[in-house]
Amino acid sequence: MQLVIVESPTKAKTISKFLGKGYKIESSYGHIRDLPKSTLGIEVEKNFEPKYIVPVKSKKVVKQLKADAQKSDSVILATDEDREGEAIAWHLKELLGLDKAKRIVFHEITQSAIENALKNPRTIDEHLVDAQQARRILDRLVGYKLSPFLWKKIVRGLSAGRVQSVALRLIVEREQEIRNFKPEEYWTITAVLNKSGMSFEANLVSIDGKTLDKFEIKTEDDAKKITKELEKEKFQIASIEKKIVQRNPLAPFITSTLQQEAAKRLGFSAKKTMFLSQRLYENGHITYMRTDSVNLSKESVAAAQDWLTKELGSDYALSAPRVFKGKSKLAQEAHEAIRPTNVFTAPEGIKVEEEAERKLYKLIWQRFVASQMPPAKISTTALEVEAGKYGLRASGQEIVFDGYLKIWPQKFSTKELPSVEKGDVPEVEVIRPDQHFTEPPPRFSEASLIKILEEYGIGRPSTYAPIISVIQSRNYVIKEGGKFVPTPMGELVNKVLTEHFPTIVDVEFTAKMEEELDEVAAGKEKWQKVIGDFYVPFSKNLEEKYGEVSKKELLPEETTDEKCEKCGKPMVIKYGRFGKFMACSGFPECKTTKQLPKEPPKSIGLKCEKCGEGEIVERRVTRGRAKGKIFWGCGRYPKCDYASWTDPRNPAPEASKEKDSQPSE
């Protein structure tokens, strides 16, 4: 009897379908050893040696696995192929005394993949284990050393994380950009022309042969002056340029792009996407979901071409596979992108526990199939129009061959232009000056935060979801309308970290640490040296800051005019883990506390256009899919129910196309 140990009971159940009676498949239920929760668990003076323990929840599992191992002829460790999986295999080997255990890895849970892995066992990759240990120890040192500092200097219950603190900084700095943003006015001029009964728009792009900058027309007076001059001119087609452009499909999913696209198209959080993809993987539907490689196996692309030829015809199949090049300098963890294990298994045909799984599988299936399809061909037309010294441009486009868009729909607006010839003089219907205002940078969504973390090289495929989850659970950020907004506590923690521990929240330094961990995984660097180079200056700085930083400086006490209802002493404003609150200045003798009163809605200084009595105020949606989104409504609500998604002070931009018919409080 051969014992096969995996980390998940679902994975064990799926593998058992492919192995005969000579195998027994058991699960470790994740890690069987970990650092202790109550203490640091690292011998700093002994070259950062970790002190692992068996958690209470794992003791029964360990006892059973030991008994099973002793009864078996051989043991096969079949945990996931990334660093985490390699570390689980190593802990099993060490704790169960499995010196002769075989290590197998596979990228998908299918019959052929399992059989191939059994034919090609290997030893545990100590370098991958070292890289996982190094990350775990680094994060433990930062969390367990820096968090008590925050407790002492701000408030108990706070915590700091190595990578999460950088994500928090990005969100806080974006919020500061938005607050400091000052909108600038600019104008565009559009001529609505007509030829052969068909109207089309041409935008002003040049004056006296000089191309206009987007913000060049700054005032209404300038725009009106140009408009008046244009109204006197004859408009003539100066040139016509037609061409076919190709739009190529995107690469198959890696972890980060799957999380981004699932957020955009399905509204899934990164955490939900990883949970569902894990289930799809363990049930044998998709390949391993923690990867930063865009490679595809020869067999998978051949199967894709076969499916395309049979289902859509040869026009939609490539003559040779399309190969993608990844951005990562060292694509760790995996050898393939995320794809369906069998392209002939349509989304409608898989068995799932919830429909969200099917939606995610469909997304993965579509992206993979589309990646092996021909480009879309788009016919574009550019008309250059002359009107005296002014130059205008009209553009049109339409799809002539949909290619990969047949499987992977993307936003595309067909724009038709009339048939014209050089020298034609179209009729002028109207010349329209339009006012615009520059807009602040948008707040981060889950998708855009993951994208920028990936661009900066912060974190790795398996870390994005935990990063986002942690900064929310710590109440450092909240979601408003699907976008991250820092809480007052989040801003305070970020201020302390950036001012006193700049290295911890430095983007370049954190990215460099990730590269060093990759070097450890490749066997080019020793993990103890990487940790030592970080910890020695960090520890020295921390010790100095305990003496330098005063709690009163960080949290100056705010007085109020309100008296304590129990003892009569003045109430003061203090910070708690979840933000500001009012407390009696007689603490600890008097422990009276209360919430701060809610701020009234902010008036924008305009009268309600519906009732003419109330003032327009800025509000936020409190329920539904648009929760947290800003809208503008009458201050006399509910007596007047006027509400609008569009800021009345800036009527030029189009109203947001929300599914809700009207904003609601």
186 is catalytic: no
Signed CA dihedral, 623, 629, 634, 635: sign only? positive
| Cβ pair 168, 397 in contact under 8 A | no
Whole-angstrom distance, CA of residue 431 vs CA of residue 433: 7
Whole-angstrom distance, CA of residue 285 vs CA of residue 283: 6
The enclosing H or E element of 583 equals strand 579-584
φ, ψ dihedrals at 195, nearest 5°: -135, 125
Whole-angstrom distance, CA of residue 569 vs CA of residue 117: 73
At 399, which amino acid appears? I
Residue with tokens 């005063």: 550
Whole-angstrom distance, CA of residue 84 vs CA of residue 411: 38
Both tokens of 226, joined, read 């140009």
C-alpha dist (Å) from residue 263 to 167, 273, 365, 465: 18, 8, 17, 12
Both tokens of 613, joined, read 């009595």
Whole-angstrom distance, CA of residue 135 vs CA of residue 107: 23
DSSP class of 564? P
Q: Can you say whether residue 178 is alpha, beta or left, with left for phi > 0 and alpha for psi between -120 and 50 degrees?
A: alpha
Of 89, 94, 127, residue with least CA distance to 105 = 89
- Which of the following is catalytic: 186, 281, 288, 535? 288
| Cβ pair 61, 28 in contact under 8 A | yes
| Cβ pair 420, 237 in contact under 8 A | yes
C-alpha dist (Å) from residue 283 to 351, 361, 363, 480, 524: 9, 12, 17, 35, 36
At 49, which amino acid appears? E
Q: Is 621 exposed, middle or buried (0-12, 13-18, 19+ CB in 10 A)?
A: buried
Query: Is the peptide bond prior to 321 cis by the omega test (within 30 degrees of 0)?
Result: no
At 178, which amino acid appears? I
Of 359, 204, 336, 207, residue with least CA distance to 272 = 359
Whole-angstrom distance, CA of residue 486 vs CA of residue 470: 13
Residues with Cβ < 8 Å from 491, sequence gap 6 or more?
172, 175
| Cβ pair 650, 664 in contact under 8 A | no
Whole-angstrom distance, CA of residue 202 vs CA of residue 428: 10
Instruction: State the CB neighbour count (10 A cutoff) for residue 17.
Output: 12
Which residues are known catalytic residues? Answer: 288
